[in-house]
Amino acid sequence: MRGSPKSLIALALTVAVLVYPTTVLASEGEGTAAEGTIAGQADARTNTSSILWFGAGCLFELLGVAAAYLITPNPPAMRLLGKSPEYVAAYTDAYSASARSVQTNNAWLGCIVSTLAGTGVYILAALASSSQY
Amino acid sequence: MALLLLGALLGQVHPFSAQFEQVIVENNQSDTARGTVYFVAPWRIYYQVNYPLNQLVSVVMNEMSIYYPDESLAYVLKSKSQFESPTSQLSLGTIDPARAMSQIGLRPSKTRTAGDTVYSVWTPTDRGATFGRFTFARIGRATVFVEAVRRNGRPVVRSRMSDHVRADTFELPTKITTERFDTAGRRSLEVLTYTALDTSTAFLSTLERFTIPPGVRTKISSW
């Protein structure tokens, strides 16, 4: 707890915490399975970066898509405090499925866009090349 | 990276226990959980929830266990990466923005003082950054307000911290009110309150009770 390195870490952490987008869903009491499903889906959609996975698909193409299928973000523990077993089970299942869906959809989209753009550039280059002869 | 930073920071904080209350409000509905948090290390945190139900939660490295003693039921989530630390909000009160914002691609754009509160505004040097501005307010060494807004000027999150207590050289806030705004502008409110902060380590020998006993029906999920 001495010196500037910790302050640097603390400050960088603050930004990390702030930029980590999370949502909350309110429910009455311990939460039902249906509420858990809705909350898990909503949190996963908010916490999963579409832009990041679109970029991964664009840059790494099929490797980016593969990563989207393999990586699943962890559910936030605070969302499960005080929740019933049914809620926890539904929330975690929905969170996993929704996060993976967002990731893979956007990675595929990025991959397709990248491929189409590459193909377009190739065709244009070929046309330009053939017109010179 | 956030987890690494969080680990590094919270690694400096000594073990403690505290009563906590978490209230989440959205769409005019509130959701409350109360209990005791036992902080051993950033990668080893335990929650004994006693409202609205009895629940023992442990977040240890890449594994989160949720045990319901009344139902004799447990869930274990195993992940390839470390779980987000539930106490991350506590760290917000330890911030000294002047020291390190530039290290993470932000530059000071404005500072003003109102009474004993110093406000500093930071903007990203990268024009492509998602966020448009961060504002910090501090009273002495304690950060009392943090706001992040998008480039279009809409807020992302606002946190107000109060009732700080000194823990080592940190000023830890024991009341944290956080407003979050999604991309559609919907607002949710989270209020975290910590009381009875105890930095003695006597609780360390009592953490065995968080272990899921043999014979308990357990669902294990691998992430």
Secondary structure class of B2 (helix, strand, coil): helix
Report chain A residues whose CB lies below 8 A from the CB of B34: 82
More confident residue, B140 or B186: B140
Q: In this predicted structure, what is the pLDDT of residue B146?
A: 86
Q: In this predicted structure, what is the pLDDT of residue B99?
A: 61
More confident residue, B204 or B103: B204
Contact across the interface for A18 and B148, Cβ inside 8 Å:
yes
Q: Which residue from A14, A80, A81 is facing B95, i.e. has the nearest CB?
A: A14
Report chain A residues whose CB lies below 8 A from the CB of B79: 72, 74
Q: What is the pTM of this model?
A: 0.73
Q: In this predicted structure, what is the pLDDT of residue B197?
A: 84
In this predicted structure, the answer to whether residue A23 has a pLDDT above a threshold of 60 is no
Considering chain B, what is the average pLDDT of its residues?
A: 81
B74-110: pLDDT as tens digits = 999 998 877 765 554 455 555 566 665 666 677 888 8
Interacting residues of A55 by C-beta distance below 8 A, sequence separation 6+: A110
More confident residue, B129 or A70: A70
Distance separating alpha carbons of residues B181 and B150, to the nearest angstrom: 10
Q: In this predicted structure, what is the pLDDT of residue B10?
A: 47
For an interface test with A, which of B5, B23, B36, B191 has the most A Cβ atoms less than 10 Å from its Cβ?
Answer: B5
> B186-205 in b/e burial notation, b at 16+ Cβ within 10 A?
eebbbbbbbeeeeeeeebee
Averaged pLDDT, B165-173:
75
Q: Number of C-alpha atoms within 13 angstroms, CB side, residue B200? A: 5
Contact across the interface for B157 and A75, Cβ inside 8 Å:
no
Chain A segment 9-38 residues within 8 A of B by beta carbon are: 9-31
Report chain B residues whose CB lies below 8 A from the CB of A75: 77
Parallel/antiparallel/unpaired status of strands B117-124 and B55-60: unpaired
Which of the residue ranges B100-109, B168-177, B206-215 would you say has the lowest mean pLDDT?
A: B100-109
Which of the residue ranges A6-15, A115-124, B137-146, B174-183 would you say has the lowest mean pLDDT?
A: A6-15
Contact across the interface for A74 and B180, Cβ inside 8 Å:
no
CA B46 to the chain's CA centroid: 14
Percent of chain A residues topping a pLDDT of 90: 32
Contact across the interface for B75 and A6, Cβ inside 8 Å:
no
> B49-64 in b/e burial notation, b at 16+ Cβ within 10 A?
beebbebbbbbbeeeb
Q: In this predicted structure, what is the pLDDT of residue B6?
A: 43
Rounded to two decimals, the ipTM of the complex is 0.73
B12-67: pLDDT as tens digits = 567 888 899 999 887 778 889 999 999 887 778 899 999 999 999 999 988 999 99
Cα distance from N-terminal residue to C-terminal residue, chain B: 19
More confident residue, B9 or B171: B171
Q: In this predicted structure, what is the pLDDT of residue B13?
A: 62
Banded model confidence at residue B114, pLDDT cuts 50, 70, 90: very high
Q: Which residue from A9, A18, A82 is facing B9, i.e. has the nearest CB?
A: A9
Q: Which residue from A8, A19, A31 is facing B100, i.e. has the nearest CB?
A: A8
Q: Which residue from B2, B83, B99 is facing A20, i.e. has the nearest CB?
A: B2
Structural contact between residues B209 and B56, judged by C-beta atoms closer than 8 angstroms: yes
Which of the residue ranges A8-22, A44-58, B111-125, B203-217 would you say has the lowest mean pLDDT?
A: A8-22
A27-82: pLDDT as tens digits = 445 788 998 998 888 888 877 878 888 888 988 989 999 998 888 888 888 889 89
Banded model confidence at residue B134, pLDDT cuts 50, 70, 90: confident
Banded model confidence at residue A2, pLDDT cuts 50, 70, 90: very low
Size of interface A-B (CB pairs under 8 A): 172
Q: Which residue from A20, A78, A96 is facing B223, i.e. has the nearest CB?
A: A96
Contact across the interface for A74 and B12, Cβ inside 8 Å:
no
Contact across the interface for B182 and A8, Cβ inside 8 Å:
no
Percent of chain A residues topping a pLDDT of 70: 77
Distance separating alpha carbons of residues B86 and B47, to the nearest angstrom: 10
Q: In this predicted structure, what is the pLDDT of residue B98?
A: 62
